[in-house]
């Protein structure tokens, strides 16, 4: 009676079933390893924590933040874009502070579309795109991604109708869940497609700095004149291990940023100033902590990648993100395989279908546990597959 239809109609939270079962299995003594969590397990770098402790004690930071975030944080974002990508941003009109990029993504959809409008979303992709479109009364249309095409958008698979009705298009590289990475050319194509079809291009760069082996993830704003049709979401959650701090930003197209600013100023008053000041220091740092953190994730990724190959899985070696995305044995759905893996091996992974229909046949493994636990996972996976799970 008290719940709106749009909330009632949200898909059930897939992870809760696994979490419930995890608790039951732990209660009977099973050592469950959870690789379903999409967040880094490492601590926030010390200099950021120290800056927070200092700023927390200054009463000036106890007041409301400006609605669009502190000037200091917005200027630090502009500094980061200039120094890291060579992209110029006006911190007054082209940068907006967010309470984590998740709320920004969901609120941008609210601010930009009308009920009935279409939004193109990657399939497989971060589930928030679809649920946020639903909450805004829009329709999502899948932009299929697959391994054969290097997980770049397959525009030819978007129907003429969806193309005409689409107002926004989401992209995400390095990708959750696929760990796919791209070169600037993919963004150039997206901007061209957006411009030709009057579709704003939204790039979710949540894993922008989490990369390995010298690979540098491009910004969509490096495409000349991209700001005319594009915005990019960024977050300190993954690069600086700050998931719980809730701090991110959106940069690029002024019109979209203004709409989001107006929308948000009616529902929140930005982030705690002390957090914004600590985050500004992070963005102005030499990124050496990010590099150290990436070395740890790379070591885990290499170990997991080798282990999966030895256990007979087909898998691509990621150049970024905190995930690895192996193919599962034939004869199982992703959900069946994930359930069996939990029941028989005590390992939690996320079924690919949690990210859209094209995730069928895959599982997402998060690298957010220590190397020794990864070794244990591999041992269990090998044991599991040798018991007759066909990987052909």
Closest to 207 measured CA to CA, from 172, 231, 242:
172
Stretch that binds ligand PLP, among 44-52, 100-108, 212-220, 306-314 (CB under 6 A): 100-108
Stretch that binds ligand PLP, among 61-69, 97-105, 252-260, 278-286 (CB under 6 A): 97-105
Stretch that binds ligand PLP, among 50-58, 94-102, 142-150, 185-193 (CB under 6 A): 94-102
Restricted to residues 167-186, the positions that interact with ligand PLP (CB under 6 A) are: 172, 176
Stretch that binds ligand PLP, among 28-36, 95-103, 189-197, 380-388 (CB under 6 A): 95-103
Label each residue of the chain as H, E or C: CCCCHHHHCCCCCHHHHHHHHHHHHHHCCCCCEECCCCCCCCCCCHHHHHHHHHHHCCHHHHCCCCCCCCHHHHHHHHHHHHHHHCCCCCCCCCEEEECCHHHHHHHHHHHHCCCCCEEEEEECCCCHHHHHHHHCCCEEEEEECCHHHCCCCCHHHCCHHHHHHEEEEEEECCCCCCCCCCCHHHHHHHHHHHHHHCCEEEEECCCCCCECCCCCCCCHHHCCCHHHCEEEEEECCCCCCCHHHCCEEEEECHHHHHHHHHHHHCCCCCCCHHHHHHHHHHHCCCCHHHHHHHHHHHHHHHHHHHHHHHCCCCCCCCCECCEECCECCCCCCHHHHHHHHHHHHCEECEEHHHHCHHHCCEEEEECCCCHHHHHHHHHHHHHHHHCCCCCC
| Nearest to ligand PLP of 102, 134 (CB atom) | 102
* 100 forms part of the interface with ligand PLP (CB under 6 A): yes
* 101 forms part of the interface with ligand PLP (CB under 6 A): yes
Residue found by looking up tokens 């999409």 in the block: 38
* 51 forms part of the interface with ligand PLP (CB under 6 A): no
- Contact letters for ligand PLP, residues 113-152 (x by CB under 6 A): -------------x--------------------------
Closest contact distance (angstroms) between CB of 1 and ligand PLP is: 32
| Nearest to ligand PLP of 261, 380 (CB atom) | 261
| Nearest to ligand PLP of 101, 253 (CB atom) | 101
Restricted to residues 6-45, the positions that interact with ligand PLP (CB under 6 A) are: 38
Binder among 55, 123, 204, 289 for ligand PLP (CB under 6 A): 204
* 211 forms part of the interface with ligand PLP (CB under 6 A): no
Binder among 91, 122, 124, 248 for ligand PLP (CB under 6 A): 248
Round to whole Å and give the CA distance between 84 and 234: 13
* 235 forms part of the interface with ligand PLP (CB under 6 A): yes
Closest contact distance (angstroms) between CB of 22 and ligand PLP is: 19
Number of chain positions touching ligand PLP (CB under 6 A): 13
Closest contact distance (angstroms) between CB of 132 and ligand PLP is: 11
Binder among 109, 113, 206, 282 for ligand PLP (CB under 6 A): 206
Q: Which residues of this chain interact with ligand PLP, rule CB under 6 A?
A: 38, 100-102, 126, 172, 176, 204, 206, 235, 237, 243, 248
């Amino acid at each position: 009676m008290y719940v709106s239809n749009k909330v009632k109609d949200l898909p059930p939270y897939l992870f809760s079933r696994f979490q419930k079962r995890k608790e039951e299995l732990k209660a009977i003594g099973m050592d469950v390893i959870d690789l379903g969590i999409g967040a880094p397990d490492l601590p926030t770098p010390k200099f950021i924590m120290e800056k927070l402790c200092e700023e927390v004690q200054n009463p000036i930071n106890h007041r409301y933040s400006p609605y669009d975030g502190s000037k200091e944080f917005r200027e630090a974002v502009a500094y980061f874009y200039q120094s890291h990508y060579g992209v110029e941003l006006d911190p007054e009109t082209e940068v907006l502070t967010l309470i984590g990029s998740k709320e920004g993504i969901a609120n941008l959809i609210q601010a930009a579309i009308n009920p009935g409008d279409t939004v193109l979303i990657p399939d497989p992709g971060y589930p928030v795109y679809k649920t946020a479109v639903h909450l805004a009364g829009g329709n999502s249309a899948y932009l299929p991604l697959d391994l054969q095409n290097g997980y770049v958008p397959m525009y030819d698979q978007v129907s003429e109708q969806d193309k005409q009705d689409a107002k926004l298009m989401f992209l995400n590289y390095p990708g959750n869940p696929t760990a796919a990475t791209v070169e600037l050319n993919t963004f150039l194509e997206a901007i061209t497609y957006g411009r030709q079809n009057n579709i704003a291009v939204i790039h979710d760069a949540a894993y922008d700095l989490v990369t390995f082996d010298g690979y540098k993830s491009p910004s969509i704003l490096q495409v000349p004149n991209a700001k005319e049709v594009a915005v990019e979401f960024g977050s300190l959650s993954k690069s600086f291990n700050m998931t719980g701090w809730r701090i991110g930003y959106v940069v690029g197209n002024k019109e979209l940023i203004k709409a989001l600013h107006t929308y948000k100023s009616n529902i929140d008053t930005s982030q705690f100033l002390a957090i914004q000041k600590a985050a500004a220091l992070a963005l102005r740092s030499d990124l050496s902590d990010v590099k150290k953190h990436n070395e740890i994730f790379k070591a885990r990724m290499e170990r997991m990648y080798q282990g999966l190959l030895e256990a007979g899985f087909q898998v691509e070696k990621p150049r970024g993100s905190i995930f690895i995305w192996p193919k599962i044995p034939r004869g199982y759905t992703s959900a069946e395989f994930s359930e069996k893996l939990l029941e028989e091996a005590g390992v939690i992974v996320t079924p690919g279908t949690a990210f859209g229909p094209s995730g069928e046949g895959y599982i997402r493994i998060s690298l957010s546990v220590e190397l020794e636990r990864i070794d244990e996972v591999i041992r269990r996976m090998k044991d599991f597959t040798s018991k007759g799970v066909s990987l052909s």
